[in-house]
Amino acid sequence: MNRGGDFYFAHIGMLFFWMGVIGVVLGFGAFVFYSQEIDVRAVEAEIMRDKLVDAFVDGDKLKAGIVCEEQYCEDFSLYEAAGINAGVIEQGNFYFEVRLFHNDKLIGSPLLGGDSAYAVECSLSGKNFPVCVSQTRVVSNYRLEVLAGSNQRGASI
C-alpha cells in the first residue's frame, strides 16, 4: 500500500494550525503590552515644584535678584529662573502658584502660570483631575509656598 500522499497534506494542515496559534498568542501579547497607560502626573508636578523652589532658594537663603524693596525685581523672570518653558505651561496641562512672604506679608502678587481652574481642581481626586503637590520652605525671614499641578496623562507605551 502506498499512503505517502496522505501524510503530506496532514503536515500542511498542522503547519497552518500552529501558525494560527502562534499568531494569536503574539497578537494578544502585543495588545496587552501596548494597551498599558502610564500616569506621569505626580512625577511631572514634583519636577516642576522642585524647579520652582530651586529658582528661589539657594541652600538656606533666598537667591539674590528676586526681591527688591518688598516687591519682585523688575528683571526677575520666573520662567527663566526656573528653566521652565512658558509655552508648555500655557498649553493647559500644567499649573503653578508661587507665593513669597516676608515676615508674613505677601510680596507682590502670587506668581501664577498655566490653567487657573487647577487651583480648585487640585483639591479634588479622580482620574480626570490634575495631581498637585505643594511645598513650603522657610529661608531667613521669607516663607515660600509653591503649588504645582499636572494633568498630562502620558501616552500609551
Averaged over successive runs of 10 residues, the pLDDT of the chain (157 residues) comes to 58 86 95 82 92 90 86 88 88 90 89 87 85 91 91 68
Q: What's residue 54's pLDDT?
A: 92
Q: What's residue 59's pLDDT?
A: 83
Q: Are residues 137 and 76 in the same domain?
A: yes
Q: Are residues 64 and 83 in the same domain?
A: yes
Q: What's residue 93's pLDDT?
A: 87
Q: Are residues 45 and 29 in the same domain?
A: no
The residue segments making up the domain with residue 3 are 1-35
Q: What's residue 98's pLDDT?
A: 93
**Is this model's pTM higher than 0.75 or not?**
no
Q: Are residues 28 and 48 in the same domain?
A: no
Q: Which amino acid is at 93?
A: N
Q: Which residue has the cell 511645598?
A: 135
Instruction: Tell how strand 57-58 and strand 94-102 pair up.
Output: unpaired
Q: Are residues 18 and 63 in the same domain?
A: no
Residue partners of 61: CB distance under 8 A and separation at least 6: 139, 140
Q: Enter the C-alpha cell of residue 68.
A: 527688591
CA neighbor of 116 nearest in space, from 92, 136, 133: 92
In a domain, 157, yes or no: no
In a domain, 57, yes or no: yes
Q: What's residue 10's pLDDT?
A: 65
Q: Are residues 70 and 139 in the same domain?
A: yes
Tell me how many domains the chain contains: 2
Q: Are residues 52 and 94 in the same domain?
A: yes
In a domain, 156, yes or no: no
100-to-19, 51, 82, 107 alpha-carbon distances in Å? 66, 15, 15, 6
Q: Are residues 64 and 119 in the same domain?
A: yes
Q: What's residue 154's pLDDT?
A: 66
